[in-house]
Amino acid sequence: MDIVSQNFAKDLQSQIQEKFDCIFLLLDSNTEKYCLPKILQNAPYLADCQQIIISDGEENKTLQTIEQIWNFLSTNGATRQSLLLNIGGGMVCDLGGFAAATFKRGINFINIPTTLLAAVDAATGGKTGFNFLGLKNEIGVFAQPQAVIINTSLFSTLNSRNLYSGFAEMLKYGYINSENLLNETFKFINTNAVLLSHCGLDQQSQKYKNEIAGQACNDRDRTFVNLIRKNLEIKQYFLEIDHFDKKERKALNFGHTFGHSFEAFSHQTDCPILHGEAVAWGMVCELFLSHILLNFNKIEVVKLYSFVKENYPKPAFCCNDLEQIYELMQHDKKNSANRINFTLLSEIGSVKINQTATKEQIFECLEFLC
Ligand SMILES: NC(=O)c1ccc[n+]([C@@H]2O[C@H](COP(=O)([O-])OP(=O)(O)OC[C@H]3O[C@@H](n4cnc5c(N)ncnc54)[C@H](O)[C@@H]3O)[C@@H](O)[C@H]2O)c1
Ligand SMILES: [Zn+2]
């Protein structure tokens, strides 16, 4: 159940009630600092819960961190009737979901996404896991959170890079859904990105209180919430028809075959990029591949390329690294029988899953990034 919350305290309380013997809060170092105070202000009954604080950053999305969570739960009295409340971005939700799904064969967990990316993507859908041997989300399980409670006011402390990382996933929904949604999303980003990033809630505490009490402050907030709702409806549609990602749900992987390889490659360098940043460049490459293979409109490829070039750091690789990127793409979970599978578009909103390409075509897409 996903709730784009208009009344955070009430929505959370209705999910918790009294059925759990113990509630554990999972946070990373940033969400402890920026989000926990806001959450406790609205849900003071969580103040006595035990807190598990993990180090932030994708480099900590590891088995060691999972062990840290299991260890804490095990030595601090967690039982099958306990609840894990994951308060964080995609990293916390993925790790917390996995730790909860496997601890004592599974305890309940609720995700409270604190990044835009987690709200529109990572926190919902039931994919949990961690990185292994340098490969993204190599180990994981499908496990549904009891609920996902989203409150956009938590995003106001995000820096611009993390905000744009979330915008990339929102644009993905536009590309796979319709020209209408895509244009609305571009319009929203172009008019509001500066206002949304770091709008400094500490200095605007009254505004924050209003928002968290559910009074949509202005048109901007309403449009933002509506776009997030629309994104989640699209995700929900695919989850219902193909929960385990065998067929239709692969539409949601648009931009991710190239994207995951860029992300994994960047984590082996001194310039790691964020998930959404990798997906933004992944979408550019996959639109270009769509143009080569499915005659997708070149003007739209150029439009996205210009936007992404303007707003996202380029994955730092050179032409000598292409074999390594290609090698990483061969590990993608969407592949089957030695072929690299892509989700491509013949037009905006017309998704073609299980598309494949030759190594030369893949290199052609990569070469214009080096
Ligand atoms: N399970 C899925 O379906 C799915 C889908 C997409 C992405 N993911 C995963 O999600 C992860 C990326 O998620 P993410 O972009 O949220 O990254 P993240 O969780 O690493 O968060 C990004 C950074 O922002 C900080 N942060 C979080 N909330 C904040 C706030 N409100 N204010 C200030 N700082 C804040 C974090 O501490 C971190 O440093 C990747 O590991 C990716 O693989 C999973
Ligand atoms: Zn993604």
What confidence tens digit (pLDDT) does each residue in 283-299 have? 999 999 999 999 999 99
pLDDT at 203: 38
| Closest atom, ligand 1, to C-alpha of 34 | 32
219 token code pair: 């048109």
Helix (H) or strand (E) holding 191: helix 179-196
CB 55 within 8 A of CB 138: no
- Window from 14-23, 73-82, 148-157 with minimum mean pLDDT: 14-23
CA angle at 258 for the pair 256 and 263, rounded to the nearest 5°: 80
Q: What ligand is nearest to the CA atom of residue 136?
A: 1
pLDDT at 197: 57
What confidence tens digit (pLDDT) does each residue in 33-53 have? 999 999 999 899 999 999 999
Residue 280 has pLDDT above 70, yes or no: yes
CATH code at 2-155:
3.40.50.1970
Q: Which of 2, 33, 59, 91 to mutate to test the pocket of ligand 1 (most atoms within 8 A of CB)?
A: 91
Of 304, 278, 274, 301, nearest to 290 (Cα)?
301
Average pLDDT over residues 7-19: 83
* Predicted TM-score (pTM) above 0.75: yes
Q: Which of 2, 26, 30, 135 to mutate to test the pocket of ligand 1 (most atoms within 8 A of CB)?
A: 30
Distance 207 CA to ligand 2 centre (A): 31
What are the structural domain ranges in the chain? Answer: 2-155, 157-241, 248-367
Indicate if ligand 1 lies below 6 Å from the C-beta of 279. Answer: no
pLDDT confidence tier of residue 276, bands split at 50, 70 and 90:
very high
Residue 131 has pLDDT above 80, yes or no: yes
pLDDT confidence tier of residue 201, bands split at 50, 70 and 90:
very low
Q: What architecture is the 248-367 domain classified under in CATH? A: Up-down Bundle (1.20)
pLDDT confidence tier of residue 200, bands split at 50, 70 and 90:
very low
Residue 206 has pLDDT above 60, yes or no: no
Of 251, 211, 227, 93, nearest to 167 (Cα)?
227
Indicate if ligand 1 lies below 6 Å from the C-beta of 162. Answer: yes
pLDDT at 169: 98
Residue 257 has pLDDT above 70, yes or no: yes
- Window from 64-73, 92-101, 263-272 with minimum mean pLDDT: 263-272
Q: Which of 275, 279, 333 to mutate to test the pocket of ligand 1 (most atoms within 8 A of CB)?
A: 275
Distance, CA of 163 to CA of 155 (rounded, Å)? 8
Distance 162 CA to ligand 1 centre (A): 8
Distance 227 CA to ligand 2 centre (A): 17
